[in-house]
Amino acid sequence: MRRYLPCLLALGLWMVSCVRDVEIELDDLPDRIVLNASVSPGKEVRAHLSKTWFVLDSVPDFDLPGARVSVYVDDRFQGVMCADDQPGDSIHPKGQYVLPGCFVRQGDRLRLEAEADGYEPVSAETRIPGRARIDGVDTLSYRSSAYYTEHLRLSVKMNYEIDAYYRLIVEQVMEYRKGDSTRTVTSFTSLGGYQWYYSGFSVDYEDPVFQSFGGSPITNQMDGRYCMGVFSGKDMVNTKAVKVSVFPVEYSYESDSLSRVVHYDVRLLSISEDYYRYMKIMRGYSITIGDANFGALIEPADAYSNVDNGFGIVAGYQEDKRRVTMPRDTVPPTWNPWDSPGWGFSPSL
């Protein structure tokens, strides 16, 4: 062994000598306008405007004051949007715009044009899709072989079109009551000023219609969890129902001092093709399990944008919803917003 040591040391030194710093000159790129909008019938046309910023900036600067956003429906000018930032709003980022009294209908072709001093103008166009229709939701409770965890399977019956695109979302909603006080927390953002951080709620998109993305073998195995719930009518083969499972499963509860009603809100969105293409790209950017991040295994792809001369996405959708309310259980909740302030929720500012 001793006579091989010099050779090993020489090999190691040779490998170290191959490491050297390389400076890469990157040309400065002009800032671009970022335009985002998600528009649905029955809601006023709204948009969010910002600007690009360099990823290595220590303090991100994406505010874009003084912008002008024009709205066109089927090539007819509708008006110029008004700035709609609310003082003290900690939920929505600065740059909100709305055109009061402007609504779209199914089939409308919506175009937004934005400009600001010092920036190239941008534009984006989308078409408002047809209605989303849920015909019913069947439920089944089962326990998984792993950890014997209880799951709730939701079989969502739907009326779909072959050439349409969809997204399925499940939200857990828990309504607490204690005396005359009520609080609502959800797996998204609550309806009553609280946010549920510690539920661990997860949706498993197990139906084959959600697993048509391609990619690496590892990400294919995880498509059921990370596909963002999007699929197309063409993926529906000899069925009018799609299946998802949620866990952990929570039940309603009632006593003299505390009550909790648990709902699972099933939302089916019909989405424009722009929305669908954007979500198919975004579903793979961050896949993290524990300390392992599998995002690096995703094949490289450009972020999708339908904003000409800029970035962002302007999309249309329609939504249908069904609510599943859980039966009462005799086991009291392990958490409630009064006994654990600051742990499971944060008050809105």
What is residue 88's predicted lDDT score, i.e. its pLDDT? 82
* pLDDT range class, residue 18, cuts 50, 70, 90: low
Question: Are 165 and 259 contained in the same domain?
Answer: yes
Question: Are 169 and 279 contained in the same domain?
Answer: yes
| Average pLDDT over the chain, rounded to an integer | 82
Question: Are 155 and 74 contained in the same domain?
Answer: no
Backbone angles phi, psi at 223, to 5 degrees: -60, -35
Question: Are 79 and 173 contained in the same domain?
Answer: no
Tens-digit pLDDT profile for residues 146-187: 778 899 999 999 999 999 999 999 999 999 999 999 998 888
Question: Are 142 and 41 contained in the same domain?
Answer: no
**By CB neighbour count within 10 A (0-12 exposed, 13-18 middle, 19+ buried), where does 92 fall?**
exposed
Tens-digit pLDDT profile for residues 309-322: 999 999 999 999 99
Backbone angles phi, psi at 169, to 5 degrees: -130, 140
How many structural domains does the chain have?
Answer: 2
- Kindly state whether residue 256 falls inside one of the protein's structural domains: yes
Q: What is the CATH number of the domain that holds 43?
A: 2.60.40
pTM of the model: 0.81
Mean pLDDT of 190-208: 66
Tens-digit pLDDT profile for residues 97-131: 999 999 999 999 999 999 999 999 999 999 999 99
DSSP secondary structure letter of residue 13: H
> Could you identify the residue written with the tokens 């072989």?
145
Strand order in the sheet with 150-159: 133-143, 150-159, 241-247, 202-204
Burial 38-64 (b: 16+ CB within 10 A, else e): bbbbeeebbbbbbbbeeeeeeeeeeeb
Structural domain harbouring 288: 133-302+317-325
Question: Are 123 and 184 contained in the same domain?
Answer: no
For 24, the token pair is 């890469």
Taking each continuous run of H as one helix and of E as one strand, the counts in the chain are 4, 21
Q: Is the pLDDT of residue 24 over 80?
A: no
Tens-digit pLDDT profile for residues 253-276: 999 999 999 999 999 999 999 999
Question: Are 165 and 298 contained in the same domain?
Answer: yes
